[in-house]
Amino acid sequence: MNIRPNNILSVLLLLMLLSLQSFAQQKSFEARVDSILSLMTLEEKAGQLNQLSSGLGMGPVIGQDDLAAQKKLVREGKVGSLFNAIGAGLTGELQKVAVEESRLKIPLIFGQDVIHGFKTIFPIPLAEASSWDLKAVELSAKIAAKEASASGLHWTFAPMVDIARDPRWGRIAEGSGEDTYLGSLMAAARVKGFQGDLKNTSNILACTKHYAAYGGAEAGRDYNTVDMTERTLRGVYLPPYKATVDAGVRSFMCSFNELDGIPSSANKWLLDDVLRNEWKFDGMIVSDWNSVGELVTHGVASDLSEAAVLALNAGVDMDMESRAYIGNIVQLVKDGKLSVAVVDEAVKRILRMKFEYGLFDDPYRNCDKNREKTDVLSKENKDAALDVARKSVVLLKNENHLLPLKKDLKKIALIGPLANNYTDMLGSWTCMGDSSNVVPLLEGIKNKVNASTEIIYTKGCEIKGTDKEGFKEAIDVANKSDVVILALGESGWMSGEAESRSSLDLPGVQEDLAKEIFKTGKPVVVVLMNGRPLSIGWIAENIPAVVEGWFLGIQAGNALADVLFGDYNPGGKLPATFPRTVGQVPIHYNHKNTGRPANDLVKWNSKYNDLPIGPLYPFGYGLSYTTFEYSKPVLSSGKIKADEKLKVTIEVKNTGNYDGEEVVQLYIRDLVASVTRPVKELKGFSKIFLKKGESKSVEFQLGKDELSFYDKNMKWTVEPGKFKVFVGTNSEDVQEADFEVVE
């Protein structure tokens, strides 16, 4: 039926019809799920709960013996999902076995870690979060989904939404940093990008991970214990997961860590009480790789059989690679140690997701080899990757307006282990990214400068190691130049899973190289490429211009060159605090005040005696080639009730010589409450573009959603009292005003 909503009544009718249609479709799914379930043997039910990797290679690289073994398991109904099987041909071949050769013809679902691009590799998620651009981040996920689906995939194990306050933890690279509000919006944007309308064959199912609080690992050590109060868990770490539920995510992944003494894969309170009952999540839950099996290592299960009981009863539907379910469910049910009803519910959730994605109606929906040739690495996708990469660059320092550089310089020295580096630009979790598609910094600069400009390149040193043999040539090259660009940082896989570091300094002898180049007296620009905040105190103090470039993907060189030579005015802002030294970690802007806040004039308070307590660069920080002037915030009222809205207006003016983007940030502080509150909390931001000399009025609204917190009784509420509101260019450089919430 085609209804044109010309009035309120027709709009309501249309909404009602759409709702009824959705309800009818869901009822149809349920009837079909129940019908299939009634035909299944217990062995086949266990098979649906079993997810295996197609070898440890990527897709078509697996050997024929492995492929034959996989097909046998699929034919016998012992697998519900495969990952690391990539390519329309391979997935089609495996799917054919499932839907034409197995007894019940239940389709497989193919998953993969598509984190920040499939073949068109975008910036790492932490870099994308630096853009503070939700539409750009959503588009990045949408393009990744389009390419992944063209290569036979249905499901990505993303987004990772873990809050990370400790940059020693390598997986900070995969998330959106330290802030709950920014992290929640980024999480929802990525879910919308990956999933969209699941009827569209260009979209794939998203999977929120790692549930829960994985980023709070003690000592920043991956997989380590997490121990925190429920108030911190609910107030800081859980909201991004909840944001993905609200955005419609269809699957969750358990985290490796324990929380309050219970590993996530056995945590019924987390999975059932909070996720399913409190948040009303009705999708499916998959374990992380062998995390069900690791219940034995954690010490809460004596063997895989006991681990299977704990995980299934907690609510883990699909077992990734531990084989605990497929090997034990049948006997556990026969022995009365596991209820068949629990097994049935898990199977139903998996079948339901397959129905939602349309696999029963079209099991070969993503097996079109023609799509695989045309929908990846297109010009449109590369242009989008360049746009996101430029938006992700953060300008940390620009003394005496050294940047942007002139394109007609006579000689430019390009030095450093990341200056002509292809592989590391991809970062970690590169999926099917190929370094041959990367534009490194050297090539990007060559694409940018005049033909008469000479670029002299030398590596200088390796990323790691102690060899300084290349210093002499680097110094010689620097002395011959008009300006030096130093490309320093980490390798792509120094951050990511299992890549925790005890030091945040530049690895190897890179800082020593920077010191030697500095001695030449030449103007120096440091371009950082890394997957976490680093402690770069000497560089920040001595080098006149510093650019945070992260790992920007295949368009890294072009994006950085656009920024360095002024074709793009940087507007990125840090999503995570840069510490002065690793000794300040964990460090984050939204800390508590304590009873004795830091004061350099008094001895007996919370500070260090060997360095300032403040960060090197605060959360939300990032410079521009232009300057912005903020007026005082104007409030619509000095007092509001808890259910009312407060309007906050501020005037921002571009007072510099360049057009540019600015991220206007709004923070609050609850001055007196029943429990202690952070000194600042981000509650809004607006990314605006201003031409030089232009002014713009920016408006925010604060209401119940922004002012609520968990009180002393763990009730989500707004308490009457006095508040401060801060608006500015980062979490420290702000204008402030006061208001009060009254009874």
Q: Output the pLDDT for position 67.
A: 87
Under 8 Å between Cβ of 139 and 113: no
In degrees rounded to 5, what are phi and psi of residue 283? -90, -160
**Among 321, 284, 322, 318, which Cα is nearest to 306's?**
322
In degrees rounded to 5, what are phi and psi of residue 295? -60, -30
Q: DSSP string spanning 362-418?
A: -TTTT--HHHHHHSSS-HHHHHHHHHHHHHH-EEEEEGGG-PSPPTT-SEEEEESTT
The CATH class given to the 628-742 domain equals mainly beta
Q: Output the pLDDT for position 2.
A: 45
Q: Output the pLDDT for position 13.
A: 54
Per CATH, which fold does 379-584 belong to? Rossmann fold (3.40.50)
Per the listing, tokens 């242009």 go with 383
Question: SS3 for 414-426, per residue?
Answer: EECCCCCCCHHHH
Q: Output the pLDDT for position 601.
A: 85
* Residue count of the chain: 743
Under 8 Å between Cβ of 346 and 301: no
Q: Output the pLDDT for position 19.
A: 53
In degrees rounded to 5, what are phi and psi of residue 663? -100, 105
Catalytic residue among 133, 288, 387, 424: 288
Any catalytic annotation for residue 288? yes
Count of beta carbons in the 10 Å neighbourhood of residue 705: 10
- Any idea what DSSP says for residue 617? B
Task: Give every CB contact of residue 721 below 8 A, 6+ residues apart in sequence.
Answer: 670, 671, 672, 673, 740, 741
Element (H, E) at 334: helix 324-334
Question: SS3 for 69-87, per residue?
Answer: HHHHHHHCCCCCEEECCCC
Q: DSSP string spanning 39-54?
A: H--HHHHHHHTEEEES
Under 8 Å between Cβ of 249 and 209: no
Q: Is 279 strand, coil or helix?
A: coil
Spatial separation of the C-alpha atoms in residues 701 and 249, rounded to whole Å: 27
Under 8 Å between Cβ of 217 and 169: yes
CATH 3.40.50.1700 spans which residues of the chain?
379-584
**Among 72, 91, 104, which Cα is nearest to 347's?**
104
Spatial separation of the C-alpha atoms in residues 138 and 186, rounded to whole Å: 8
Residues of the chain with pLDDT under 70: 1-27, 55-65
CATH 2.60.40.10 spans which residues of the chain?
628-742
Q: Is 487 strand, coil or helix?
A: strand
Count of beta carbons in the 10 Å neighbourhood of residue 220: 25
